[in-house]
Amino acid sequence: MIEVNLIPDVKLELLRANRQRRTVISFAILLAIGSLAVVVLLAFYAFGVQTIADSLADSSISSEGKKLTSVEDLSKTLTIQKQLNTLSTQHDDKKLTSRLFDILDTTIPSGENVVAISRLALDTDEHTVSLECEARNGYEALEVFKKTIQQTKFQYSVGGEAQDPINIASNISDGERRYGENSAGQRVLRFSLTFTYPDELFAPTSQSGKVIAPNKQNATDSARGVPKSLFTGGQE
């Protein structure tokens, strides 16, 4: 059987275009319906579910708040708890000021230039050490003591890694000097001495510390007692 297509090409293109247009319109309608459904669901969550959840949370907060306020001495309990929580931080940040006694034991000259300490003050805010001393050998002992402090270094490590040694003191100055008698009736020179120390000297992160003076060294953080001969009973 022979078939003859009597529809011109232009008509076929028009029919095809109409089908494509209907397809596009159908997809657009479906997409609009889907978008509208999403908007409705979001609105329901925002104004419905979320509102209910906020209401439940507020109710729970109010209930728990009433329980807390009914606890006797609540403010004191919270204050103590806060202080307990800061103990570990304070322990980690505390300065190892006990190293100061090892420093004195290492830097104070021996023999005829020995120096006795009558007063010792450590200012952690200003990073200064102040000493009031007396020496039987007068100005010579004073100069030896000052030069020893100037040349003494602190050797330490951080996290197991050795650091470059640093000077234990800077800005060393001595104040009033005068002669007097000690408790034994001996003529002594009394003087004051102040110097600035570096942060690393007393920092808890400075490990395996050693104070190295020109003629001797001393391992810090040791259990060795400080000789009583370093100190006097006070000035006359």
Spell out the domain ranges in the chain: 8-53, 99-230
Confidence class of residue 68 from pLDDT cuts 50, 70 and 90?
Answer: low
Distance CA 231, CA 20 (A): 105
- pLDDT computed for residue 218 by the predictor: 58
- pLDDT computed for residue 166 by the predictor: 93
Using a 10 angstrom Cβ sphere, with 0-12 exposed, 13-18 middle and 19 or more buried, the burial of residue 201 is buried
Domain at 99-230, CATH class? alpha beta
Output DSSP code: residue 231.
Answer: B
Residue 60 has pLDDT above 70, yes or no: yes
Of 19-28, 72-81, 116-125, 172-181, least confident by mean pLDDT is 72-81
Mean pLDDT, residues 113-122 taken together: 91
Confidence class of residue 69 from pLDDT cuts 50, 70 and 90?
Answer: low
- pLDDT computed for residue 236 by the predictor: 45
Sheet architecture: strand order including 187-196: 115-123, 128-135, 187-196, 170-181
Distance CA 77, CA 69 (A): 12
